[in-house]
Amino acid sequence: MPKTKFSDDEFQKLYREVQHKTKNFSIIEPELVSENPNYMKVFRMICGRSLVEMGNNLNKTHATIAQYERGAIKNIPIKEAEKISHIISDELPQDKSLENAIRNIHKFRELSNGGYIQAFKRAEKAELTNQEKKIKEILEKKKVEFEPHKTLDTSIGKLNFDFWLPESKIVIECTESVSKHKAESLGFRVLKLKDKIKCKAISVIPSNVSDGVMRRLCDYDYVVFSTDLSKLENIVE
């Protein structure tokens, strides 16, 4: 994930708040985690975990961890918070100092500046999937200008999207996955894009998805099933 807009001073203030409420990180109460998902930033930096690593530890997606940290999710159900607080308590290292946490912040910033740039370049040059090839054919047939695997600025930094239509300002994201986690990630990404750019968004997904997947795609202007791509032709023309 790209770096967040979180200064060292802001982090230090949050760190001191969490340190006080947990009695120097000795007691991580479920109620505290439930009511303050944004404290995850402090716990993650103390542990020196990336968003993906923290998500794996807590059996969550990296997008969910990011939403906790930014306050997009205001409350965690108490049963989930009990599990999270237990795992965090076990994961916290001996060195819980502010200095250690700040060092980890700087480490992830450096990784963002180097590793993510290379990752975006690889994504931009990646071969199209079969699903993407079908969408490409439609866009070419309709003589629509498009850029595949386009890296765009969002409110959380740069992200790579499957297709960008610059003239109509439309982004297209597609997946063959029926996973709720994938849908959550897609929904999160397009929300952050719309925070930065006034655009419309299309999601192309399998037709056999659950209602839970559809709910997670509510920020898309159009949802097109891969079995009915003719609908996409009507939208982009």
Terminal CA-CA length for the chain: 33
Average pLDDT over residues 87-111: 87
Name the pTM for this structure: 0.55
Q: pLDDT (tens digit, 9 = 90+) per residue, 67-76?
A: 999 999 999 9
Q: pLDDT (tens digit, 9 = 90+) per residue, 114-126?
A: 555 666 677 777 8
Average pLDDT over residues 47-71: 90
Q: pLDDT (tens digit, 9 = 90+) per residue, 164-180?
A: 999 999 999 999 888 88
Q: pLDDT (tens digit, 9 = 90+) per residue, 195-208?
A: 999 999 999 999 99
Q: What is the dihedral angle through the alpha carbons of 53, 58, 61, 63, rounded to the nearest 10 degrees?
A: -80
The pLDDT of residue 2 is: 41
The pLDDT of residue 106 is: 83
Q: Residue 4: pLDDT above 60? A: no
With contact defined as beta carbons under 8 Å apart, do 32 and 97 qualify?
Answer: no
Close Cβ partners of 127 (under 8 Å, ≥ 6 residues apart): none
In a 13 Å sphere around the CA of 116, the CA atoms on its Cβ side amount to: 16
Close Cβ partners of 86 (under 8 Å, ≥ 6 residues apart): none
The pLDDT of residue 3 is: 42
Query: Strand, coil or helix: what is 3?
Result: coil
The pLDDT of residue 120 is: 65
H or E stretch covering 2: none
Q: For residues 2 and 51, what is the distance between their CA atoms, to the nearest angstrom?
A: 10
The conformational region for residue 5 under phi > 0 = left, psi -120 to 50 = alpha, else beta, is beta
Does 1.10.3720.10 match the CATH number of domain 126-236? Answer: no
Average pLDDT, rounded, for the chain: 89
Q: Residue 43: pLDDT above 90? A: yes
Q: What are the structural domain ranges in the chain?
A: 8-113, 126-236
Among 33-42, 44-53, 103-112, the range scoring the smallest mean pLDDT is 103-112
Q: For residues 222 and 219, what is the distance between their CA atoms, to the nearest angstrom?
A: 9
Q: For residues 4 and 38, what is the distance between their CA atoms, to the nearest angstrom?
A: 13
The pLDDT of residue 112 is: 64
Buried b (16+ CB within 10 A) or exposed e, 31-69: eebbebbbbbbbbbbbbbbbbeebbebbebbbbbbbbbb
The pLDDT of residue 148 is: 94
Close Cβ partners of 114 (under 8 Å, ≥ 6 residues apart): none
Close Cβ partners of 73 (under 8 Å, ≥ 6 residues apart): 37, 64, 67
Q: For residues 128 and 148, what is the distance between their CA atoms, to the nearest angstrom?
A: 8
The pLDDT of residue 122 is: 73
